[in-house]
Amino acid sequence: MRLAILVSGRGTNLAAVLEAVAEGRLSDVEPVLVVSNRPGVPALDVAAGHGVPTRVLPRARFADAGARDAAIGRAVAEAGADLALLAGYDQLLRPAYFAEFGGRTINIHPSLLPKHGGPGMMGLAVHASVLAAGDTQTGVTIHEVTPELDGGPVITQVNVAVLAGDTPERLAERVLAVEHRCLVEVLAHLSASMTAASRA
């Protein structure tokens, strides 16, 4: 399974995936491209450290966001990706992306969608929202990406307990550890299914 990964920041989920590939835990996954919408982010160094080609496609280089998203979709398609993964990618993908890349795109989100999803729900804002709501459970959602923000069908969800005295930072740390594990498990399942289908 040829995998493209879209990033915007630290690249911790990207690192978890690339390390699993390097260790043989994702032996059927071939990372073919990392695309960032922001220059100079740590995720680009993570990709370079694993020898994965990168592209930086910032909004400022394009006439509008749709043109930028079309360029991202073309880059993913030209890399021959079977699957695109949003791993900390902080922008809504517009229809122009899907017009250029007809393959499957999935996202990982640090809450139990549909709770604490939608506009502005990224990073610590998600965990602050969970705590403000008084939720006793949060978690991780991996879902299909559609033009509706955080609205695609759910692939899997894993619960994480909210503990007394949690801060957004503490909660984020525990959820992130589950994100890493869950993401590798889902990619292993998807790659195995794709391999089995190709042999059938």
Catalytic residue numbers, as ranges? 109
The angle subtended at Cα 137 by Cα 188 and Cα 43, nearest 5°, is 45
Of the candidates 99, 94, 9, the residue with the CA atom closest to the CA atom of residue 45: 9
* The dihedral sign for the CA sequence 34, 15, 95, 129: negative
Of the candidates 89, 96, 32, 101, the residue with the CA atom closest to the CA atom of residue 62: 96
Q: How many angstroms separate the CA atoms of 196 and 134, rounded? A: 44
Q: Show the beta-strand stretches assigned E in 50-122.
A: 54-56, 83-86, 104-109
Q: How many angstroms separate the CA atoms of 138 and 128, rounded? A: 11
